[in-house]
Structure formats: structure tokens, C-alpha cells
């Protein structure tokens, strides 16, 4: 299914693999585990300890006949995390993902709750690489925000993240790079995912336009004849607009940009 | 080591909660009870029957167990184990540990219950225990090789497995029925017949050679299983 793919992820970097359903995103992530189709891929992990500590969240974790605590205890103990340390981490993860650690088995959980346990197990034992297949799938808005905050934190701590997502939310908020898979082939590696950039065009005095050039999140600015075209990160767009308007600029257009 | 023990604990808890062991266990202990319902019984030939039964039951358990963990979960578990070899050997070790109590009950149960025609000697007990354990390992080795890696999506694999089990039990008769040039083909089958001959007192090569052949064959099956799993991936 996958053909001629070469992909690298650096420490502290998040790469999101986008693409329609059936494009091979999940297959690519399974391949990256090094446990599937091992004869068809070469995986190099320079900088990762041996054996590598990889957290993998499949698209759908099959719900098992364990409670969330039992399951996480098993996975953590298999990873070699001492029991006392593990119990503390499991309690923290339950709190962070707002999941009650009760006697109910995962086989009775909703899809969203199983997904929370799926993501929680990837974080056990300080992984160096996270492979996340549709991590936001099934999560409510608050849990999605919490997960993104956790992943941002992991990135800052040097964890490499490779995630597959068909919705733009993950790419927009987490990705340092976004690659697109189409029919099993990579369709290029743009520096930024499409959804993370906005082009804002405004009119103002040259002094205001020059000041806006240094505003937070601006990647590129083209100024000409009292008009400025700014390319900036999507999350900085609202703040930029407020700054521009309060400086007396007139907004002419706001558009997504590649 | 702690991680390996944790893997065994995980395998055990998951399997016990699946109830996949109930049918083979019922067959084994049901047949066991049926055999010893009438006493007294001859020592070694009774052991021979329960050992062969354990071979078939172990193959059944291993066949049902080896692909019971969902594929995605297998990848998750193996990554947590941080070693593919550890993951694969833990599965085999768990199956060996799971079937070991069956062997102990079969060997020490009858003398304790007083259903033998005479007291079993220490040598007979040791031989019976080794034979039961080795045949259970041969069964495990046979059962795991019929998992989805070697027979992906093949509906007839259960039939082939049953054929292999039946052929290895009846290998002596097959060998006698085959023309001389084709007779060596039975050496490809798990050497159940060699251990059976020890139990019924017809061993020409001696018990040590029969047990060594069974242990060697089981070890080969285990190595083959790990290699296939590594080659084909999870």
C-alpha cells in the first residue's frame, strides 16, 4: 500500500500525516513501530536509546477486560516502571484526562473513554517517540485541549511525535511539519500545514505597517503603497487583528494560506 | 526480569478473563475422570493416554491463545516490552506454564487417588512427568505454528492442525503402512510416537533418546515460531 516513502522526525518535533481515509496513514504509523512489515521498511533511530521507548496509540484500541487502572498497570509494569511510581503516574493521568478510576472494565467503556486510556498508555514510562493514530478521534473538546496541552509539553521535553490525522485541528495546533499521504505516496513536505497559516491584508500608514511586521506570529510581510500583506500562524491571527485595528489599520482580507 | 514477569502476569490475567481455557480444560479433565472412573488401572499405559491427551489439548489451547490478543494490542504490548523477542518468548513461556499443572495433576493425581493397580516407582513418576511436559510443549509448538502468520485467513487451518495431531499420534501405524521409501516422512511429524513407545514399554532407543528427540523438536518449533513472527511482523 505504501510506496517510496522517506520520512524523518526530530526530537521535540511533531509531524502530522494528513490524508483521506484509506490513504495509508495508519499503515505508515504501524510501519514506524518497527513491528509490522519489517522486511519492507528501514527504520533508523539515531539519538533514541536502545531499546527505544515508543508510545503507540492505534486508531482504535481494542477494549479489553481490564479496568483502566489494571490495564495501565499491566502496560507500565511491562515497560519496567516501578509499581509505586506507576501508581502515581496512573492517578495523574486519570486526573488529567478527567477519567474516574473505577471498577468498570474497558469493554464497557464508550469509544471516547477507551481512546483516553489508549492515549494514557502511550505516556507511561517517559517515551522518546509517540506514534499517535487519530489521537483526537472520539474525544470531547475539553479532552482534546488537554491532550494537545500534554503533547505540547512532551514536545518541549524533546519527545518526537508522529501523528496521523484526517481532521485539520491536530495539524493546526500541534504540527511543526505536515505531510500528506495520497494513495500510499507522500505528496510533499511543506514547512507548515495549510491550516496553520493565515494571510491578512491591511491598509495603514507605512509606520504602522512596519510595526506590524514585528508582531507575534508573523512569518513574512510584503509591504507596498500603504498596503501590507502578512503571512502568520493561525493561532496568532486574532491577536494580530486586534493589534492592527487598535493601531488604526484597516483590514482588507483574511484568508487561509499555504 | 520484572518486565518479563509482568508480561506473564498480563498474559495470564487476560487469558483467564477470556474463558478460552474452559472447553479444552473440560475435555482434558473429563477424559481424565472417565479414564480413572474404573480402578485399578495399569500405570504406564494410563500415563501414555493422558500424555497424548495433553498433547492434543495443549495444541488446542495454544492455537486458540496465540492470536487471541487483538493485533493492535499486540503492537502496543510488544512496544511496552521494548523487545520483540521478550514479547514472543513470554507468550510461549506462558503457554508452557499454563499447561504444566495439567501434567502435574495427570502424573501425581492417580497415585494419590489410589486408582493404579500398584504403586508407581519414583523412576516411573519422573518419566511420566517428563513425558507429559514434553508432549505438552510439542502440542504448544504445533498449535502456535497454525496461527495467522503461517496461515493467514485460511479457514482450513484447523483441519490441517487436527490432521497433524492425529498423524503424529498414529505415526507408527502410518510408518508401517507406507512403502519403505516413503516411511521416513513420519520423522517430519512431532515425535509423539517416540514418547508413546516409552509409555507402553516398546522403546527401542531408550527413554533418554525419545525425550531428547521430543525436547529438540519442541525447541525447533518454538524457534520457528519466533522467526516467523519476526519475519512476518505482528
Residue B45 sits at the chain A interface (C-beta within 8 Å): no
pLDDT, residue B171, reads: 86
Alpha-carbon distance B40 to nearest alpha carbon in chain A (angstroms)? 44
Do A253 and A201 form a contact (C-beta atoms < 8 A)? yes
Do A115 and A61 form a contact (C-beta atoms < 8 A)? yes
Give me the sheet containing A218-224, strands edge to edge: A218-224, A227-233, A197-203, A250-256
Domain that holds residue A205: 195-256
- Residue A57 — pLDDT band, cuts 50, 70, 90? very high
B47 CB neighbour count, 10 Å cutoff? 26
The larger pLDDT score, comparing residue B112 to residue A255, is at B112
State the DSSP H helix or E strand holding residue B119, giving kind and residue range, or none if neither: none
Is there a domain that residue A7 lies in?
Answer: no
Per-residue pLDDT at A38 exceeds 80: no
**Average pLDDT rounded to a whole number, residues A9-18:** 89
Of the candidates B7, B70, B234, which has its C-beta nearest A78's C-beta?
B7
Is there a domain that residue A232 lies in?
Answer: yes
- Residue A188 — pLDDT band, cuts 50, 70, 90? low
Q: Of A166, A191, A216, which closes a domain?
A: A191
State the DSSP H helix or E strand holding residue B178, giving kind and residue range, or none if neither: none
Of the candidates B2, B79, B81, which has its C-beta nearest A56's C-beta?
B79
Residue A154 and residue A231 in one domain: no
Task: Give the total number of structural domains in chain A.
Answer: 2
Highest mean pLDDT of the ranges A35-39, A96-100, A174-178, B138-142: B138-142
Q: How far apart are CA A40 and CA A202, in angstroms?
A: 51
Mapped onto helix, strand or coil, the DSSP state of residue B157 is helix
- Residue B214 — pLDDT band, cuts 50, 70, 90? very high
Residue in B closest to A127 by C-alpha: B80
Is there a domain that residue A98 lies in?
Answer: yes
β partners of residue A221:
A230
Contact B18 A65 (CB under 8 A): yes
Q: Which of residues 59-88 of B touch A (CB under 8 A)?
A: 70, 72-73, 75-84
Do B147 and B63 form a contact (C-beta atoms < 8 A)? yes
Q: How far apart are CA B232 and CA B234, in angstroms?
A: 7
Contact A33 B75 (CB under 8 A): yes
B168 CB neighbour count, 10 Å cutoff? 26
Q: Of A176, A191, A206, which closes a domain?
A: A191
A/B interface, count of CB pairs below 8 Å: 81
Residue A181 and residue A103 in one domain: yes
pLDDT, residue A218, reads: 84
**Average pLDDT rounded to a whole number, residues A198-210:** 89
Within 13 A of B206's CA, how many CA atoms are on the CB side? 3
- Residue A185 — pLDDT band, cuts 50, 70, 90? confident
Is there a domain that residue A1 lies in?
Answer: no
Residues of B in contact with A79 (CB under 8 A): 3, 80-82
Q: What are phi and psi of B20, to 5 degrees?
A: -70, -15
What are the cell numbers at A232?
502568520
Do A178 and A19 form a contact (C-beta atoms < 8 A)? no
pLDDT, residue A196, reads: 65
Q: How far apart are CA A131 and CA A118, in angstroms?
A: 12
Which of these, A156, A125, A146, A148, lies nearest to A56 by C-alpha position?
A125
Residues of A in contact with B88 (CB under 8 A): none
Residue A161 and residue A214 in one domain: no
Is there a domain that residue A6 lies in?
Answer: no
Residue B2 sits at the chain A interface (C-beta within 8 Å): yes
Residue A205 and residue A187 in one domain: no
**Average pLDDT rounded to a whole number, residues A144-152:** 88
Per-residue pLDDT at A191 exceeds 60: no
- Residue A199 — pLDDT band, cuts 50, 70, 90? confident
Contact B82 A79 (CB under 8 A): yes
Per-residue pLDDT at A171 exceeds 90: no
Which of these, A140, A84, A96, lies nearest to A120 by C-alpha position?
A96
pLDDT, residue B138, reads: 97
Amino acid at each position: 500500500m505504501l510506496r517510496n516513502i522517506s520520512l524523518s522526525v526530530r526530537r521535540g518535533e511533531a509531524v502530522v500525516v494528513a490524508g483521506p481515509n484509506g490513504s495509508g496513514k495508519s499503515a505508515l504509523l504501524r510501519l514506524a513501530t518497527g513491528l509490522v512489515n519489517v522486511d519492507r521498511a528501514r527504520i533508523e533511530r539515531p539519538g533514541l536509546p536502545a531499546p527505544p521507548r515508543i508510545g503507540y496509540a492505534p486508531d482504535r484500541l481494542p477494549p479489553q477486560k481490564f479496568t483502566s487502572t489494571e490495564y495501565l498497570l499491566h502496560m507500565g509494569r511491562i515497560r519496567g516502571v516501578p509499581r509505586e511510581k506507576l501508581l502515581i503516574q496512573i492517578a495523574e493521568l486519570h486526573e488529567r484526562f478527567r477519567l474516574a478510576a473505577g471498577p468498570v472494565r474497558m469493554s464497557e467503556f464508550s469509544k471516547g473513554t477507551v481512546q483516553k486510556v489508549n492515549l494514557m498508555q502511550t505516556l507511561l514510562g517517559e517515551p522518546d517517540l509517540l506514534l499517535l493514530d487519530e489521537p483526537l478521534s472520539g474525544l470531547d473538546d475539553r479532552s482534546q485541549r488537554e491532550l494537545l496541552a500534554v503533547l505540547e509539553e512532551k514536545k518541549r521535553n524533546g519527545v518526537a511525535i508522529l501523528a496521523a490525522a484526517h481532521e485539520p485541528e491536530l495539524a493546526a495546533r500541534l504540527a511543526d511539519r505536515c505531510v500528506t499521504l495520497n494513495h500510499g505516496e507522500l505528496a510533499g513536505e511543506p514547512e507548515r500545514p495549510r491550516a496553520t497559516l493565515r494571510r491578512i491584508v491591511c491598509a495603514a500608514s507605512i509606520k504602522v505597517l512596519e510595526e506590524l511586521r514585528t508582531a507575534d506570529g508573523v512569518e513574512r510581510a510584503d509591504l507596498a503603497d500603504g498596503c501590507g500583506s502578512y503571512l502568520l500562524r493561525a493561532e496568532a491571527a486574532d491577536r494580530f487583528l486586534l493589534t492592527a485595528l487598535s493601531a488604526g489599520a484597516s483590514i482588507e482580507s483574511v484568508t487561509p494560506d499555504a | 526480569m520484572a518486565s518479563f514477569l509482568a508480561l506473564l502476569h498480563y498474559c495470564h490475567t487476560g487469558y483467564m478473563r477470556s474463558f478460552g481455557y474452559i472447553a479444552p480444560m473440560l475435555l482434558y479433565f473429563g477424559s481424565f475422570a472417565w479414564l480413572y472412573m474404573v480402578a485399578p488401572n495399569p500405570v504406564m499405559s494410563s500415563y501414555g493416554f493422558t500424555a497424548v491427551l495433553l498433547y492434543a489439548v495443549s495444541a488446542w489451547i495454544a492455537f486458540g491463545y496465540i492470536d487471541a490478543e487483538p493485533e493492535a494490542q499486540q503492537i502496543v504490548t510488544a512496544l511496552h516490552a521494548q523487545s520483540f523477542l521478550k514479547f514472543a518468548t513470554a507468550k510461549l513461556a506462558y503457554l508452557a506454564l499454563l499447561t504444566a499443572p495439567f501434567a502435574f495433576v495427570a502424573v501425581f493425581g492417580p497415585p494419590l487417588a489410589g486408582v493404579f493397580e500398584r504403586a508407581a516407582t519414583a523412576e516411573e513418576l519422573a518419566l511420566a512427568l517428563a513425558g507429559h511436559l514434553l508432549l505438552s510443549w510439542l502440542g504448544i509448538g504445533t498449535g502456535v505454528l497454525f496461527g495467522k502468520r503461517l496461515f493467514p485467513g485460511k479457514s482450513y487451518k484447523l483441519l490441517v492442525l487436527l490432521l497433524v495431531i492425529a498423524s503424529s499420534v498414529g505415526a507408527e501405524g502410518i510408518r508401517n503402512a507406507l512403502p519403505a521409501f516413503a516411511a521416513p516422512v513420519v520423522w517430519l511429524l512431532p515425535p509423539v510416537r517416540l514418547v508413546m513407545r516409552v509409555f507402553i514399554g516398546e522403546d527401542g532407543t531408550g527413554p533418554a533418546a525419545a525425550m531428547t528427540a521430543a525436547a529438540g523438536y519442541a525447541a525447533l518449533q518454538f524457534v520457528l515460531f519466533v522467526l516467523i513472527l519476526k519475519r512476518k511482523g505482528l
